[in-house]
Chains A and B, each alone.
Chain A
């Protein structure tokens, strides 16, 4: 691992000052960046420990409008929190089904949202062509082993999948981030807008300017969000990234969908909200046919490659199964 310095700020203000230095990076749970430093993909000159600032929010607060989760809360704490489980099942399940218990004990919510892709060509520096790691170098995945690469939101420059689960659920439920900008100002940003499409600049992954700190996540708790779920399909039954996943919430009136929220994971270059699927469901009787129409709408723009073509249909079926699971007898 390349040499770096490590600082332990006592509060957020000096942390942000330290993070303003060139090639500085925040260190939260460390589960992603330490891994990337070991394999030579990340090489910050300075890490700023977010474990030490006393004023970094590590609490979960339930308000009448929603849940406010500090960015320093761990994935395990949020997954096991009674209000998250009760009011936002899709969020709790997206966390429980992510990573391993050890990683969830370490990783924070703020850091998890910024998890980097698992694309093998990004992670293996022996491959020279990776526009995300080395801008302008090409993309070895386009004609490489791309069974797990994205089918939505791709570009000729990059087809790397966004690997996370939590952000998919948060994007679907219209969660917002509370940010502290380097200039000192605070700002809110919809989770849906946090990540960029790769376009011809896949190395620019988010809308955060360097040094910005995610201080909290706010998830609205609409009364019907209790009827939500996160379904994740993997090669293994546990501890694996999604081949396809669906975050769904339904407002049902009898058997009719008043409103729907749909997010898709594991198949897109960013956390994917499908307004097309939501529109296809609105006003329809929830059933096999309407769920299938929503799934067709969600995947209409898919651009698969031969090795990942199966995941278009897998994603459709994942969404159908997630939707129908919310209309079953247990949820009536």
Chain B
């Protein structure tokens, strides 16, 4: 099937099988390997991206359904001059990862969490970030990073 998507502001026209997931499309066809394949069954959150501004699991999303959708991946967050997005900087500042495999999904999910208005307290952050597993258990630092970045994003 022929589809046209907008990935990080760039128009992408591709031909895909109906069963191609958005995750496989991004990694295998568009060359954006930032979103990660963890479980591939919607359980771990490593593949989280934004579709039309909302965080979703790209492994459970059929790419063919996304005609004209706006997709944001981790590669689309930094400024054109390489300036890191406030959440990326906060994850660095707070040492919010160890191996880093879950981090792109954590950051996209954190962006969704803040935009949805569910980062009001540490408890709320923990609850609304529970769809992103971190096997290194960097959770306390992830919460701290989101807490510190929230005011920057709300002012933006």
A223 contacts B by Cβ under 8 Å: no
Count of B interface residues, CB-CB < 8 Å: 30
Residues of B within 8 A of A35 (CB): 41-42, 60
Residues 87 to 115 of chain B near chain A (Cβ within 8 Å): 109, 112-113
- With most chain A CB atoms within 10 A of its CB, the pick from B21, B48, B127 is B127
A208 contacts B by Cβ under 8 Å: no
Contact present for B61 and A102 (CB under 8 Å): no
- Cβ contact of A30, chosen from B1, B62, B128, cutoff 8 A: B62
Using a CB–CB cutoff of 8 Å, the interface residues on chain A facing chain B are 1, 3-6, 8, 27, 30-31, 34-35, 37-39, 47, 49, 51, 76, 80, 99-103, 105-106, 236-239
Beyond A102-B131, A103-B131, A238-B127, whether A1 also contacts B61 by CB under 8 A is no
Contact present for B60 and A30 (CB under 8 Å): yes
B56 contacts A by Cβ under 8 Å: yes
Distance in Å: Cβ of B66 to nearest Cβ of chain A: 9
Given A76-B116, A101-B116, A102-B131, 11 extra CB contacts under 8 A: A1-B19, A27-B62, A30-B60, A31-B42, A99-B131, A100-B130, A105-B54, A236-B130, A237-B126, A237-B130, A238-B130
B142 contacts A by Cβ under 8 Å: no
A-B contact count (CB 8 A): 84
Write out, one digit per residue, whether chain B residues 9-52 have a CB within 8 A of any chain A CB (1) or not (0): 00000000011010000000000000000001110010010000
Distance in Å: Cβ of B122 to nearest Cβ of chain A: 13
Q: Which single residue of chain A is at the shortest CB-CB distance from B66?
A: A51
Residues of B within 8 A of A8 (CB): 65
Bound-complex Cα distance A106 to B45 (A): 13
Residues 114 to 140 of chain B near chain A (Cβ within 8 Å): 116, 118, 126-132
Residues of B within 8 A of A3 (CB): 18-19
Q: Which single residue of chain A is at the shortest CB-CB distance from B19?
A: A1
Q: Which single residue of chain A is at the shortest CB-CB distance from B17?
A: A3
Contact present for A39 and B57 (CB under 8 Å): no
Contact present for B45 and A102 (CB under 8 Å): yes
Distance in Å: Cβ of A163 to nearest Cβ of chain B: 14
Contact present for B55 and A105 (CB under 8 Å): yes
Residues of A within 8 A of B116 (CB): 76, 80, 101
Contact present for B42 and A103 (CB under 8 Å): yes
Contact present for B57 and A4 (CB under 8 Å): no
Contact present for A101 and B42 (CB under 8 Å): no
B64 contacts A by Cβ under 8 Å: yes
Contact present for A6 and B55 (CB under 8 Å): no
- Cβ contact of A106, chosen from B1, B41, B57, B128, cutoff 8 A: B57
Bound-complex Cα distance A113 to B116 (A): 24
Residues of B within 8 A of A30 (CB): 60-62, 65
Beyond A38-B41, A102-B48, whether A238 also contacts B55 by CB under 8 A is no
Bound-complex Cα distance A4 to B57 (A): 21
Contact present for A6 and B62 (CB under 8 Å): yes
Distance in Å: Cβ of B137 to nearest Cβ of chain A: 13
Bound-complex Cα distance A37 to B19 (A): 10
- Cβ contact of B57, chosen from A31, A51, A80, A239, cutoff 8 A: A31
Bound-complex Cα distance A5 to B57 (A): 22
User: Can you sample 22 A-B contacts with CB below 8 Å?
Assistant: A1-B19, A4-B18, A6-B18, A27-B65, A30-B61, A31-B60, A34-B60, A35-B60, A38-B40, A51-B65, A76-B116, A100-B45, A100-B130, A101-B109, A101-B113, A102-B42, A102-B55, A102-B56, A103-B131, A105-B112, A106-B56, A237-B127
